[in-house]
Structure formats: C-alpha cells, structure tokens
Structure 1
C-alpha cells in the first residue's frame, strides 16, 4: 500500500487509493475464505467424502491466490521483505523501464509515416476554421496572442532593440551606395513624365504665394539700390520685379513647353545620369547620406520612435476594446471562415501542418522521446512505485481475485480427474 499520506495526494489519487485498499481487502478476503473452507473440508472429509472435492477446490484457490499475490507484490516491492531474486521490479528497474518506454514511443509513435497517416485522416484546417470563426474563440486567441506579444515586448531590451535597428539600418540603408539605384529610379520617372505633377504643384504653390504676398516684394530689391536713387524709383523697381515674377510664373503654368519646364526636365535628366556615372555627384550624395545618419539627432529620433511605438503597442494590446485587438479578432474570424469554405486553402494548410509535423518528428524524435527517459530517471523509486501502484494496482488486485477462483476450479478439476483415472485416490 502506498506510504504517501492521504493529505499529500490529489483528489483523484485519493479516490484511487480508496479503491485500491478496497480491492486489496476483497482479494485478501477471498484468500481467507478459501483457507477457512480448506480447514473445514479437510477436517470433515473423512465423514463426508464429497468434501474432498471442496478441499481440493479450496486448496487450489489458496495456491492461486498466493501465487498471484506474490506476482503482483513482486512488481512493486519484495514480498514479506525477503530478498528474493527478480522482485521489486519497478523500483529496481525504474530507469530501464523509462528507457524502454522512451524507445517504444520513439519507434511506434514518433515515426514519420504514422504521424502523416494520422494527420492526413484528420481535417485539421476545417476543424480549426470551424472553431476559430466563432467570436468567443477568436477573442480568446487574440487575447492569448496579445499576452504573448506583451511578454515579448516587455522582455526586449530597449538598448538592444535600438542597436539592432541601427545595425539593420546601416547594413541595408547606409552601407549600400544610393547613387546608381537613385539615378535609375529618377531616370524612369523623367522618361514617364511622372515628375510633371510635382512641377505643376510647385509652380501652383509659388503662384498662390505670389498672389497673396505682393507686399513681401516691397523693398526686396529696392533696398539694394544706392541711397541717392529717388523713392519713386524704389517703388517702381519693386512693383516691376513683382509683376515680372508673377508674369513668369503664370507663363510657366500656361505653357507645357515653357523653357523653365524644359530646363527642369534637362536638369533631372542630367542628375539621373550623373547619379549613375559621375563619381563626384555620387560622392556628394554619399557624404550627405553619411552626415544625415551619423547625426546624433537622427539617433535620438530613432530611439524616440521606438519608445513611442512600444508604448503604443503595449497600450493597444492591454485594451480589449482597442482597434488593434478588435481588428485582430476580426481577422481571425475571417481566417476561420475561409478555412471552412475554401477547399484549396484547407488542402494547403493540412499539407503544411503534416509536413511541419513530419519534419519535427524526423529531426527531434529522439529528443522528444528522451523527455520520457530523463523524467523517469529523475523520479524517486519509492514515489514512482506508489504512483504506478495507485494507477494500476486496483486492476492488479482483480488478477489476485481471478487467480483465487481460477485456482479453485483448477484444483477441483485436477482432483476430479485424478480421482476418476487413478484407482485408490
């Protein structure tokens, strides 16, 4: 019987312990009953010859009960404390049993064909879709995902993230030369006349500003004239400059082939070529790029952007009513709905799951099975014995009970056959 106090057992183990004790009492009662019957029949068989059959049955019952008691007890401990060989099998061979169990699981369960066959017969995508399309389930997945994301964000070191962002930016943005790809990109824009919209926007903006800011031209040029020039001439010069500027801008607006527009086209064309082929232009761009990214202000802005983004994400993840959480829930429901209606998507998902499971089993089957072996090796032998006895001991007591009755029938049959065939018995 297990030595662990009842107060230290789980409710389920307490139920198993009571059932085990009850079956042990029943099996022991059957043995005692056979012993009592044997004594009575042995004492009275001279006066009542038919009791010899009862004696033989009781004798066989006792032998069967004692043999099965010995066999069951030998699994868990040494019968009567005697150092009999091949007893106390579980505590003495615990580690070997764990290794055998691990090998059995690895060989018969963690095998690629077994896993693929089982997964192929299971509509994983369909079942997942039917479960996920329900709002409570989608909300649950979103909540669990938010908890995981929050834990990951909190575990991240801000300094490490900033260093990673810096390294990635330097590797993918700063280190590559910008000139040739920028020149190719600009050349394609000019060839497709895609820059005309930007030119129109710039010209329109200048015209709007000029229309609304005529006063700004007062003194813009005249203040540079000699002091002896009359004030009337100052005003004339300023008004003339303003009107000419306004006339020029309106002319550029109206004429798609204006020389100023053509000059812009030519400048952009030359710039695109120089960015690809002129070392001086390319060097200027690289210097400007390095100056920009090496600026402490840019680094501070990057750190501030990360801190702001992290705080915003944590706030959104913590609020079940946030837009992020709601959109995540809706997206999960939509995925679930697609999984239940799209046969092609179901086949792809089922194939992905099966391939991933087979890959993991092929690569890590021994490591997975070793969990069983390592866990059993760490168990205390006495505690292991008690746990196993609690799990299967009640059924083993049925073996004792069955052995009692089978032994009784065998003893009766052997005695009856011997009495019938052997004279004088």
Structure 2
C-alpha cells in the first residue's frame, strides 16, 4: 500500500521531518532575505500556498487509499459470503471489488512511479521525474524552441493579435497618452540624472570638435556669402557700420585730431599740424557721411566687389581655404571655446529636466499631443497599422531566431540545476491532487469493468 508521507525521499526511506504550518512535516518557506535550505535548490522554496496544496494532496491520497482499503474489505466479505452460500450476488460483488483493487493498485503504481520508487524498490522506469529531470528539461527546451520560438508561429500569433490597431486605440485615449508621457518623462529624468556630466561633456566636446575638424567650412561660408551679396542681404550691415562710424567720428573728433597731430613730424609748426588734422577729420567725416547717405556710393560698390571676390576665393582659392581651416583649428583649440562646448550640455540638461518635470511644459504638451495624434492615426489607418505590425513581427522574429538557442538552453540549464528531490516534491504539490483522482477513477472504473466482465462471463456460461 502507498505511503502517504509526501516528504518521502526518492529512495523510499522517510526523510527528516521539519516543522511546518499547522504541525505538518512539510518544508517551510524560507523567510524573506534568507537563502533556501541546502537540498532545496529548484523552482523556489515551499511557500504557504505550496504547503496548502501539499495538504490537499495528502487529503486526496487518504481518500484514494481509503477506497483501496474499502474495496479490499468488500472483496474479503464477498468471498466469505460466497463460500457461506449467500447466493450469486456475492460473486458479482467479489468480481467488482477484485477488479477495483487491481485498478487502484495499478494506478497507484503509475502515479507513484512519477515521483519516487514505489515502496522504495528500484523498479526500472520508476521515479521518472527525479531520474529523468535533465532529459525532461532538454525535451521541454526543444519543445518550446520548435513550437513557440519558430518564426512562423511568432508571425502568425502577432498578426492575429493586431498590435498596431490595439495600440493605436489605446494611445488615442487621453488618459493613456498622459500616462505614457509621464512614464517617458520619468525615464528621461532618470537617464539624465544617472549620466555623469563630465563624461557627457567630454563626449559632446569630442564629437563637436571632431565633426568640425572633419568638415571643411570655407566652401560653405563662401557659398553662403555669395548668395547673401547677390540678394543684397549685406547692405543693412554696411548701413549699420556707416551709421556707427559717423556717430563715432562725431563723438570722438578730439581723438582723431590727436592721432593726426601726434603722428606729424616734430619740425612742423603746431598750427600746421592742427590745420592738417582738422582737414583730415573733415574729409573723413564727409566720406563716411556720403557713404551713409548715398546708396550708390563708389565705396559701397567696392565693398560689394570685395565681398564677391572673397566669396569666390573661399570656394575656389586653395590658399584662402587653407587659411580659413587653420583659423578654424585655432579657434576650436582655444580653452574658451572648449569650455563653451562643454557647458552647453549643462544648459541642455537643465532645460530638458525642467521641461520633463513640468506637466504643462511645451515638451510634455507636444509629446502628449504627438502620442494622441499617433494613436488616432494608428487606430484608423490600416496602412500604418500594417507597418507597425510588420516592424513588430520583424523585431520579434529577429529575437527568437537569433536567441532561440540561448532561450532553450536557459530552460535546459535551469531544470538541470534544480535539486531532483525538491523538484519532484514541488511538482507533486502542484499536480498531485489531480493525479490522486486517477487512482480514485481507476478504483471505480476497475470495479465497473470487473462487474461487466463477470456479468458477461456468467451470461455466456449460462
């Protein structure tokens, strides 16, 4: 007869009993923060829910065993009654009870052989789960890989789900769009907080400098300057320079006079120096005034020709382009420029973090509006839905085809690392109650089959 102690080890000998809830001998769940006990390596330690299931298994074992004992007692009484001349009915009862015992014992053996050696006897092909655990793990990994991780299965399943349409309908709800925006803002703030400013500044500075050094700027500047001159866009700048030069000369006449007289020879009389200085100042002021007030002044034409020639030199003259590149390198290598590039990251980070934290910021408002618009389009545009579904299918197929071996090996290696005895007890706790119904059904079906066979035999014999 089967032992009802679920703590029985695979060898059939009773294992050490540990106090469990409600006075049971079950393994107790490890307290939070503690490691599982030695020998309990497997799919988790026994939790309170597992203990409840194990109690249910023990109850069903008791019922199934009780039915076996019942049919045995009925068989003994029927045989006794038949030998005492009780009548033909005793034979029918004895046949049913006998077949019930056979069915109960056969199913007991089958159920018990899954988890341990029946009665501790090393019968071949018993204790299947503990002894074949690694083989079962490999088979499970192969089964998952062939039936769940194939590209056809993944594509068919994702296509049937219609993720694009569902995602579009979900995003089209304002509450969901707000939720996604909030989650993205939180993730963005977290990422910007985790990043080290010094590392990012170094990367940004190196990227900007490298890009600037790799790109020749003279032809681009020349082309832009040529277009500006052709469109007359430089004239406002010339006007501004002329106005500022005129105002400066009016306000600093003494400075101009001092500069002229200070450069005169020492042997010239002072009144001559002042006369010359005054003349130079008046001519200079007249020139600047005319250049300011006359749009077609020859000097303005000279400026136009100079800018046009310079624009052409920037685009085609090798020497000019080389000078511009040297100047660019010198400017980029200055500490002030590098500090400015590095400090740009701090400004950008502060701006983005502030915008992410403010629910009414332009960043979050635009992100929310963009998600709502995207959701409405995905919900109604079948072409866009097809694109999204195709992207997701391709991504999923890439993952399962690229990492299928790693996924299946994870299953195989995980099962191989489980403790055989602990795994067997864990599985029995989860499915053992249903398996005990096999024993009960075997007892009932066996009894009915025995009764039928005995009835047919008597009928044919008569």
2:253 to 218, 239, 243: 218
Deviation at 1:408, TM superposition (A): 0.9
- Correspondence 1:48 to 2:83: no
1:299 to 324, 338, 348: 338
Describe how 1:201-280 pairs up with structure 2 within 5 A.
201-206=236-241, 208-209=243-244, 215-226=250-261, 227-229=270-272, 238=281, 241-252=284-295, 255=296, 258-280=297-319
1:212-256 CA-partner distances (Å, limit 9, x unpaired)? 66642322422234343487886676455434312211213xx3x
Point out which structure has higher relative CO (alpha carbons under 8 A, 6+ apart).
Answer: 1
Deviation at 1:189, TM superposition (A): 4.8
Deviation at 1:341, TM superposition (A): 2.1
TM-score (norm 1): 0.87
Q: Which residue of 2 aligns with 1:5?
A: 28
Describe how 1:179-190 pairs up with structure 2 within 5 A.
179-190=218-229
2:451 to 384, 395, 412: 412
Q: Which residue of 2 aligns with 1:33?
A: 70
Structure 2 residue runs of 5 or longer lacking an equivalent are 1-5, 8-25, 31-44, 262-269
Query: Are the equivalent residues in 1 in contact too, given 2:246–2:288 (CA < 8 A)?
Result: no
- Correspondence 1:172 to 2:211: yes
Question: Judging changes above 3 Å, is the alpha-carbon distance between structure 1 residues 63 and 261 closer, same or farther for their aligned structure 2 residues?
Answer: farther
Question: Judging changes above 3 Å, is the alpha-carbon distance between structure 1 residues 140 and 93 closer, same or farther for their aligned structure 2 residues?
Answer: farther
Q: Which residue of 1 aligns with 2:22?
A: none
Describe how 1:27-176 pairs up with structure 2 within 5 A.
27-46=64-83, 47-49=85-87, 50-176=89-215
More deviation, 72-81/267-276: 267-276
Question: Judging changes above 3 Å, is the alpha-carbon distance between structure 1 residues 420 and 380 closer, same or farther for their aligned structure 2 residues?
Answer: same
Question: Judging changes above 3 Å, is the alpha-carbon distance between structure 1 residues 262 and 207 closer, same or farther for their aligned structure 2 residues?
Answer: closer
- Correspondence 1:334 to 2:377: no
Q: Which residue of 1 aligns with 2:266?
A: none
Q: Distance in 1 between matches of 2:248 and 2:325?
A: 38
Question: Judging changes above 3 Å, is the alpha-carbon distance between structure 1 residues 16 and 333 closer, same or farther for their aligned structure 2 residues?
Answer: farther
Q: Distance in 2 between matches of 1:278 and 1:45?
A: 126
Question: Judging changes above 3 Å, is the alpha-carbon distance between structure 1 residues 317 and 370 closer, same or farther for their aligned structure 2 residues?
Answer: farther
User: How many residues in Structure 1 have an aligned counterpart in Structure 2?
Assistant: 415
1:79-105 CA-partner distances (Å, limit 9, x unpaired)? 222222211111222121111111111
Q: Distance in 2 between matches of 1:319 and 1:232?
A: 69
SS in 2 for 1:121: helix
Question: Judging changes above 3 Å, is the alpha-carbon distance between structure 1 residues 328 and 375 closer, same or farther for their aligned structure 2 residues?
Answer: farther
Q: Which residue of 1 aligns with 2:409?
A: 370
Q: Which residue of 1 aligns with 2:388?
A: 349
More deviation, 232-241/275-284: 232-241
User: Could you say which structure has the higher helix fraction?
Assistant: 1
Q: Distance in 1 between matches of 2:316 and 2:214?
A: 19
Deviation at 1:293, TM superposition (A): 1.2
1:364-393 CA-partner distances (Å, limit 9, x unpaired)? 222222222222222222332233223322
SS in 2 for 1:106: helix
Q: Distance in 1 between matches of 2:429 and 2:355?
A: 49
Question: Judging changes above 3 Å, is the alpha-carbon distance between structure 1 residues 138 and 28 closer, same or farther for their aligned structure 2 residues?
Answer: farther
Question: Judging changes above 3 Å, is the alpha-carbon distance between structure 1 residues 107 and 13 closer, same or farther for their aligned structure 2 residues?
Answer: same
Q: Distance in 2 between matches of 1:298 and 1:60?
A: 97
1:22 to 59, 76, 89: 59
**Alignment root-mean-square deviation, CA:** 2.8
Q: Distance in 2 between matches of 1:20 and 1:185?
A: 85
